[in-house]
Structure 1
Amino acid sequence: MKVIKYTSLYYDEWNNFIATAKNATFLFHRDFMEYHSDRFEDYSLLVYKKEKLVALLPANKKEDAVYSHQGLTYGGLILDSSQRSHIVLSIFENLLKYLFLNEIKELEIKFIPAIYHKVPSDELLFLMYILDAKLMKREMLSVINLDGQNSFKSRIEGYKRAEKHKLKIKEDKKCDAFWNEILIPNLRGKYNAKPVHSLEEINKLKSLFPESIRQFNVYLNDNIVAGATIFESEKVVRLQYISANKDKSTLGSLDYLQIFLLKYVFTQKKYFDLGTSKKEGDKTISNGLLFWKEGFGARALTCDVYKVDTVGYGLLSDIIR
């Protein structure tokens, strides 16, 4: 096998592989990854077996460590569905050896939640056990199984309030109104924070991926009162941002928006990922936020981050006999 560090020469080959991989989404497309290239030193890798591309590692580098990838919601080893377990083992062994020989001491892997896999793809998780990798973080996502019989009984009252106030939901081509009038003021006022994506960045990404990044806004008499930014992949809808003005409880705007998305927009998907409810900077959970999500039928799914010492690549050579 041969491991090569990504350059723009591999742009088309990389993106073509992403399009057919068993565990990839549009977040791994180079156009998405490079919107924040000024913030991260890219260290993405391609793995070839007899001149055929068999795996990708979207990654960035900081000092003597590589991360997969700090600028993305999830990461990991990207594979096509034809790769069997013993080949995946060899791929990862060669990746670790390449990193070790290039003076990278640690690889930190942010796993792709299993709901995003097109077919089962947990080979790397098994290898974390073999390598005695250190669990660095475990996130708890709230996920709705859209194949199930989900009840919105605890949120119906808010939905009815929204109908009474004659709220309207519209899909907008740009994110300006939501960012400027709802999201940015709310984050600044409540957390003294900013959205992960600037308005310029999210609009650029939306123009690059118009079918995957969608903006839904709620209006009262033509005035925006709430909104949600959606990242849509083949099987999963991810609620990337959702927020409302100070009248959300009176108007029922967030309940109205969420039920609308579940009942009328994303009925053909398998899962709705509502993200984490963890408070920023610690391990505590926002009970109010978690209660709201679970009111739509969401239940817990974990997403792990592991750290591997690259010197351990030799441990993989005799695993399969």
Structure 2
Amino acid sequence: MYTVLHYTASYFKQWNTFVAQSKNGTFLFNRDFMEYHSDRFTDCSLMVFDGPKLVALLPANKVDDTVYSHQGLTYGGLIFSNKIKLAAALQVFKSVLQHLHEVGVTTLHIKSIPAIYHKQPSQEIDYALFLTNAVLTRRDAIAVRDNSAALKVAANRMEGVKKGIANGFTVQRSYDFAEFWKEVLEPVLQSRHGTKPVHSAEEITKLATLFPDNVKLFTVWQDNHIAAGTVIFESDTLAHAQYIAGGEDKGENGSLDFLYHHIVTQQYAGKKYFDFGNSNEQQGRKLNTGLAFWKEGFGARTMFQDFYDVQTVNHTLLDNVFI
């Protein structure tokens, strides 16, 4: 019988230790990362115990009668012990749904962790969602470069690299997130999309201080001027492009092509995967073809990230699964 408890600060160390040792958790689930924006969300994270032993976590927040895993994170779902087996994982999921149902939550929204982030195979949650009649509500197409069998960088991207070389560009790791935010990222997002970065300059600086091996900024320079930059979130199995931005003349001077040629062929060539993220809008229903084409020029190809709604009352569907 599994016991489901709501996370409190008294479990801080145990939670973080479990994430680090889990088979599908990343630094995004560390409480220091999750709580940089705790004022925006009502935390509803759960911990699942088998007797005294912690076997799973659910990083989550709550809005009305719906629990999300987690609206402030790129991906989520159940984080499992590296020793858990499928039958036990299904029982854990049943226990979570039953607990949520008993406390008045009607719907659990799962923002799945793409398999490329798993340190070990860990798609138990996908099977559990199938068994509980979860509804697919969104599917994002993410562009992923497999470095073990990477395609060549396309000729049109190499043209940009050549422009960058001719312009005397250099790439360096920077620690001045505020400058990149002010000079490049914020103006670009505002002028092209009318939006702001998800993280403020202060927030990303704090996260980079807390996770210096995971949150990194790389910038392209020319004559003491930032021409382009990218923020990378680095996990065990891959590097993920969190932000990518270049000036208005990026196509003419090759700044982004120059930067990303360095990123994928040198800086992160040793990682198993490089995740460029999605090129979707409108909850996955629209594809930015130009952006997707640019990413594919660096050898990326398509994988999916799925989003599901499961009704907590459906925990009963797991009662008669085993034969």
Settle same-fold status: TM greater than 0.5: yes
1:193 is aligned to 2:200:
no
Secondary structure class of the residue paired with 1:112: coil
Structure-2-length-normalised TM-score: 0.98
User: What amino acid is aligned across from residue 212 of structure 2 in structure 1?
Assistant: P
Aligned partners of 1:99 and 1:279: how far apart in 2?
Answer: 31
User: What amino acid is aligned across from residue 80 of structure 1 in structure 2?
Assistant: S
Aligned partners of 1:196 and 1:152: how far apart in 2?
Answer: 30
Aligned partners of 2:282 and 2:160: how far apart in 1?
Answer: 27
Aligned twin of 1:123 = 124
Query: Using a 3 Å threshold, how does the CA distance of structure 1 residues 282 and 54 change in structure 2: closer, same or farther?
Result: closer
Aligned twin of 1:48 = 49
Aligned partners of 1:152 and 1:127: how far apart in 2?
Answer: 39
Aligned-residue identity in percent: 44
User: What amino acid is aligned across from residue 95 of structure 1 in structure 2?
Assistant: V
Secondary structure class of the residue paired with 1:320: coil
Query: Using a 3 Å threshold, how does the CA distance of structure 1 residues 26 and 309 change in structure 2: closer, same or farther?
Result: same
Moved more, 279-288 or 150-159: 279-288
After superposition, where does 1:9-88 map in structure 2 within 5 Å? Answer: 9-88=10-89
1:16-37 superposed Cα distances (whole Å, 9 cap, x missing partner): 0000100010000000000111
Structure 1 residue 279 displacement after superposition: 2.9
User: What amino acid is aligned across from residue 77 of structure 2 in structure 1?
Assistant: G
User: What amino acid is aligned across from residue 156 of structure 1 in structure 2?
Assistant: M
1:104-157 superposed Cα distances (whole Å, 9 cap, x missing partner): 111010100000011111111011111111111111100000111321132111
Aligned twin of 2:265 = 263
1:49-68 superposed Cα distances (whole Å, 9 cap, x missing partner): 01100000000000011010
Corresponding residue to 1:182 among 174, 181, 184: 184
Structure 1 residue 282 displacement after superposition: 6.7
Moved more, 229-238 or 263-272: 263-272
Aligned partners of 2:62 and 2:283: how far apart in 1?
Answer: 23
Secondary structure class of the residue paired with 1:157: helix
Count of residue correspondences = 321
Aligned twin of 1:278 = 280
Aligned partners of 1:153 and 1:142: how far apart in 2?
Answer: 15
After superposition, where does 1:219-230 map in structure 2 within 5 Å? Answer: 219-230=221-232
Moved more, 133-142 or 150-159: 150-159
Secondary structure class of the residue paired with 1:185: helix
Aligned partners of 2:281 and 2:46: how far apart in 1?
Answer: 33
Structure 1 residue 280 displacement after superposition: 5.1
Structure-1-length-normalised TM-score: 0.98
Aligned partners of 2:231 and 2:25: how far apart in 1?
Answer: 20
1:193-238 superposed Cα distances (whole Å, 9 cap, x missing partner): 1000011110010100001000000011110010000000001100
User: What amino acid is aligned across from residue 37 of structure 1 in structure 2?
Assistant: S
Secondary structure class of the residue paired with 2:10: helix
Contact residue 140 and residue 284 of structure 2 kept, 8 A: no
Query: Using a 3 Å threshold, how does the CA distance of structure 1 residues 282 and 12 change in structure 2: closer, same or farther?
Result: closer
Aligned partners of 2:226 and 2:133: how far apart in 1?
Answer: 51
Secondary structure class of the residue paired with 2:285: coil
Aligned partners of 2:30 and 2:111: how far apart in 1?
Answer: 17
Aligned partners of 1:31 and 1:197: how far apart in 2?
Answer: 15
Contact residue 46 and residue 59 of structure 2 kept, 8 A: yes
Aligned partners of 2:141 and 2:126: how far apart in 1?
Answer: 17
Aligned partners of 1:200 and 1:208: how far apart in 2?
Answer: 12
Structure 1 residue 170 displacement after superposition: 1.0
Structure 1: 5+ residue stretches without partners: none
Aligned partners of 2:284 and 2:149: how far apart in 1?
Answer: 33
Secondary structure class of the residue paired with 1:37: helix
Moved more, 150-159 or 210-219: 150-159
Aligned partners of 1:105 and 1:277: how far apart in 2?
Answer: 31
User: What amino acid is aligned across from residue 140 of structure 1 in structure 2?
Assistant: A
Aligned twin of 2:4 = 3
1:46-101 superposed Cα distances (whole Å, 9 cap, x missing partner): 00001100000000000011010011000010001100011101101111111011
